[in-house]
Amino acid sequence: MKFLRRFLIRVANFATRRRADQRLRDEIAEHLALQIEENLRAGMAPAEARRQARLKLGADEAIREDHHAEQSLPFVENLFQDLRFAVRMFLRSPGFSLIVIATMALGVGATTAIYSVIDATLLHPLPYPNPNELVRIEDDLPGVGAQDVSVSVPEWKDLENSGIFQYVAIDFFGSSNLTGSAQPTRIAAKVVTPNYFAMLGVGAQLGRTFDPGDNTPGFNLEAVISDGLWKRAFGADPRILGKTVRMDNDVYQVVGVMPPGFRDQGKTSEERNTEAWSAAGFAAVPFPPALRNSRFGTAFARLKPGLPVASAQAHIDALVASLTKQYPADYPAQAVWNIRLIPLAESLVGNVRQSLILLFGAVGLVLLISCVNVANLLLARASARGREMAVRQALGAARTRLIRQLFTESLLLFVLGGITGFAVLFCARKFLLQFVPESLPRLNEISISWGVLAFAIVVSIAAGTVFGLAPAWLMSRLDLNTTLRQEGRGSNGSQQRSRLRHALVIGELALSLVLMIAAGLLLRSFWDLFKVQPGFNPSRVTAIETWLPVPNDPKTDIYSTATQESVLLREVLRRNRTLPGVEETAVGDRAALPLGHGKDDLNMSPLIREGQDVQSSQPPLIDTSFVSPEYFRLLGMTLLRGRLFVDQDLEDTPSIAVINQAAARTYWPNQDPVGKRVRLRAEKPDWTTIVGVIADARTESLADAAIPQVYLDIYQRWAKDLAFFLRGQVDPATIAAQVRTQIQAVDPNLPVFHAATLDDVLSSSLSVRRFSMEMVALFAATALLLAGLGIYGTISFLVHEQSREIAIRLALGAQRRDILKMVLRQGLTLAAAGAGVGLIGALIVSHLMASLLYGVSPYDLSTFAGVTAVLTAVAIAASYVPALRAMRLNPNTMLRSE
Amino acid sequence: MKEKPDVLQGTLALMVLKTLDVLGPQHGYGIARRIEQISGDLLAVNQGSLYPLLLKLEHEGSIASQWGASENNRRARFYRLTEAGRKQLRAQTRDWEQTAAIITRFFNVKAEDIL
């Protein structure tokens, strides 16, 4: 306490120092005057009176200094002194300071920008209480190549009873058709088990969420709505509770409104913006019977407090083993059923993590290069200030004091740079966010927060410490005698210092080579992907989605059979064909929408081949789409064998299917699949005949050429999530409204949404790749620029240092060409060393990022060679200017001037 | 020549407080003069060191100061004891007397008293 008080007094003194000192001065003067007066009165001569008074008082300077040292904070004062001096030095050479600050602003700003993205996506905890307890439960059947196949109701019950979870919830994300307001709207809706909100740990702002103890087997006809929907569709009606809403023609009672900040968990931004939740037990109509192999929905759970995921996983493994033994028919050994618990936060980020880590690595390199550049500049300046340092040392400045002074200067530069970078980032954040792909998870949580500021400051201080201390240390290590004796003749760089400077430039070149090669490889991958033949023709195709209501009571469903639905579809298609500009139309389900849907929308069916797969064994799963006959022609998919669907194929004619070549190759190797019969629904005994094989099209992923797919005729099997396709020259601004008019002319209760051209869909499917490619390319360009500046600076400095030598050579008759060659050789040597080190680094890095590449080997020779050539060219260009200067040196003036 | 004893650490503060207590508000020179007089020139007070001490005491709140006019109409800073200073003086006086009494007793002790 006492120490603290004394410290506070010292701090206070520090602030009022000037005043206290002035007062001491005044008082001492006063005292002397009085004493002298008295001495005079006592009869002393004036001079003697003054002398005696002074003697009696003692040494007033010493008194004041003692008082000062005792009462103040010498460290802080020195710091302030150093800072003042540093600022004066900056102002004296503003060009140098600006370059250093700008370089650091670039490095720190870029790093901070990427950090803010990582902070939001990877580091920030999920916005639910105790987010570490939340896990996603994924069932895998690796034996049949199926991942994340959802859970069944009996498995859900088993998990609930396993004793390691507080809650296990199932959610089933989809659309719902909200009717009753002015325009039927399609809203993102989720069917969840009643314990869903209890699992997330979030309550309603108005009313309540579902009762976690509710055991209704089917829908309990209660709805919870989002704050957004409440405000938009119900005008924030405070008496909303108990009112009814109509979703998919079912009447639900609103029991709660979620708080404004609440966002659902989910992998897509669409799912995170879910606006209505209904609760169901998933075990009665309209859900299929609760069988072990009837899987749907995604399971999530909240672990018991304090239970680590790893030990929960061990429990689950034991549970899986015992269930497999108990139900051998449902869990055939060859399917290798298992369950994985994935921390929810991790599962939501998914494969974006890799791209982000790559970006962070890339931006880290840029930062490192900026630091090296600045260190280099500081060293160059050190030589210019060698004399100043020597004089200070000769006058008795301690070496530590000099280091501190220099270190303060460089640290101040680094921190100023960092703050500038942060300030620019902060001002430009809105602009920059446009470039972040929308598909990035948790995009809306990106913010330039205090944490990000702290990061920027810590990074600049750390960088300043590492890269400022070494130059300061070297600068203070002077041979006084030589430096002073040289009388400012320029050449005073110590051997050690120039070695360090060369090492820095080599490092800089190496780092930028690594970045450029990474960027080159990503660029090649992206280009290959962009240029890949997708196997379908997306140009001039627009897709527009709609959603047929699925009432909970099948009897009230007016589209319960394919025949009923086909009336609607054919009529809408006919009307769409009459729209201006439209040449062709087709319809399919959402899974038929190329590249436009997340993994969760995949429609996987078991593929039971006649004579090959027995009923009890786990059949392989195959990607299934429902399409109308015109779909293949509209998208330009080629038929290889057999036939496509025709208008005569109806619900009551034999069920047929078309497969792609990948499916033929995978499931009927060396056979003709046409005419083979399969069953695509385990519970229904009807056979479907394969009538045709089409060429592979990359409709699931541009990067993946061969995903087995099966297409069914939409007029034979109904689908609820529909996408209408139009080919032709249509007006993208009005087409959605035109199609809405047509669809609602047939059924006014249908919502129409998500109009997009396939070209846009295609390019946005590459958005994350494009983003990381563009970013890394940008960083690489920056790195190249910085490296170029670095080598330019170093060579200029070398020329400056050697100008005397060059002048003598010239005077002795050396050819100017030789001088040029000599300087260029120095630049080239540095470039070669940098490239050598960089190539080794690049090999390591490209090996690590192999999984992010497409169609290009991580050791692609042409990329490596091309990038090295570019780097060398830049190095030569950067050395050329100082080389020219050296060549044009006038030996006469040069030698005379000294 | 016999050296004059240095002022013990902390005792100068006590002297200042006591001087102000007895004589009322004083300026710095006055305090210095009084201390010199009372101690009868036995003590070598480096008069300059008085002023940092006055500053310190004022910081600690034992004394307060304000400008005023000295006897011969010069501008001077007058110090006076505050309530806290008075309390501190009382406490320190007690401490000092106690210490002095103990030391005196030690000096007066003779071998037969202990045995």
pLDDT band at B2 (very low <50, low <70, confident <90, very high): very low
- Which residues in A lie closer than 8 A to residue B74 (C-beta atoms)? 30, 33-34
Q: Among B29, B52, B74, select the one facing A67 at the smallest CB separation.
A: B52
- Domain spans of chain A, in order of start: 2-72, 74-129+351-493, 142-336, 495-533+761-898, 550-748
Listed by number, the residues of chain A in 26-65 with a beta carbon closer than 8 Å to a beta carbon of chain B are 26-28, 30-31, 33-35, 37, 56-60, 63-64
DSSP string, A621-646: EEEEEEE-THHHHHTTPPEEEE----
User: What angle is formed at CA A110 by the lines to CA A104 and CA A111, rounded to 5 degrees?
Assistant: 90
Distances (CA, A) of A844 to A461, A521, A847: 29, 13, 5
Please give the Cα distance from A768 to A353 (Å, whole number): 11
B110 at the A interface (CB within 8 A)?
A: no
Distance CA A858, CA A807 (A): 49
Closest CA to A827 of A799, A860, A865: A799
- Which residue in A27, A35, A55, A67 has the most chain B C-beta atoms within 10 A of its own C-beta, making it the best mutation to test that interface? A27
B66 contacts chain A (CB < 8 A):
no
* pLDDT attached to residue A811: 87
CA A769 to chain centroid = 11
Q: How far apart, in whole angstroms, are the C-alpha atoms of residue A496 and residue A474?
A: 8
Residue B74 touches chain A, beta carbons under 8 Å:
yes
More confident residue, B112 or A365: A365
Interchain proximity A58–B48, CB inside 8 Å:
yes
Residues of A in contact with B75 (CB under 8 A): 30
Residues of B in contact with A34 (CB under 8 A): 29, 70, 74, 76
Q: Is A825 on the interface with B (CB under 8 A)?
A: no
E strand or H helix that includes residue A39: helix A2-41
Tallying the residues shown for chain A, one arrives at 898
Question: Any CB–CB contact under 8 A between A816 and chain B?
Answer: no
Q: Which of A24, A35, A59 is closest, CB to CB, to B29?
A: A35
Nearest CA in chain A to B31: A31
Regions of chain A where pLDDT drops below 50: 487-492
Give contacts of A25 with chain B, Cβ < 8 Å. Answer: none
B65 touches chain A (CB under 8 A): no
pLDDT at A713: 93
Cα(A593)–Cα(A542) distance, rounded to whole angstroms? 10
Please indicate whether, in this complex, the C-beta atoms of A9 and B46 are within 8 angstroms of each other. Answer: no
Q: Measured between alpha carbons, how far is residue B62 from residues A9, A359, B79, B87 in Å?
A: 15, 63, 10, 9
Task: Give kind and range of the element (H or E) at residue B50.
Answer: helix B50-60
Query: Residue B45 has what pLDDT?
Result: 61
Instruction: Please provide the distance, in angstroms rounded to a whole number, between the alpha carbons at the two ends of chain A.
Output: 64
A123: alpha, beta or left? (left if phi > 0; alpha if psi -120 to 50): alpha
Residue of A nearest to B72 (CA): A34
Considering the segment(s) B11-110 as one domain, its CATH architecture is Orthogonal Bundle (1.10)
Beta bridge partners of A222: A253
Cross-strand bridge partners of residue A627? A588, A713
C-alpha separations of A829 from A50, A369, A821, A832, A843 in Å:
74, 19, 12, 5, 21
Q: Of B26, B29, B37, B77, which to mutate for an interface test with A (greatest number of A Cβ within 10 Å)?
A: B29
Taking CA–CA distances from B61, the nearest residue in chain A reads A9
Interface check for B28 against chain A (CB to CB < 8 A): the answer is: yes
A60·B55 Cβ contact <8 A: no
Q: Find out whether A709 and A700 touch, Cβ atoms under 8 Å.
A: yes
Taking contacts as CB-CB distances below 8 angstroms, the residues of chain B near A13 are 59
User: Which pLDDT score is estimated for A69?
Assistant: 66
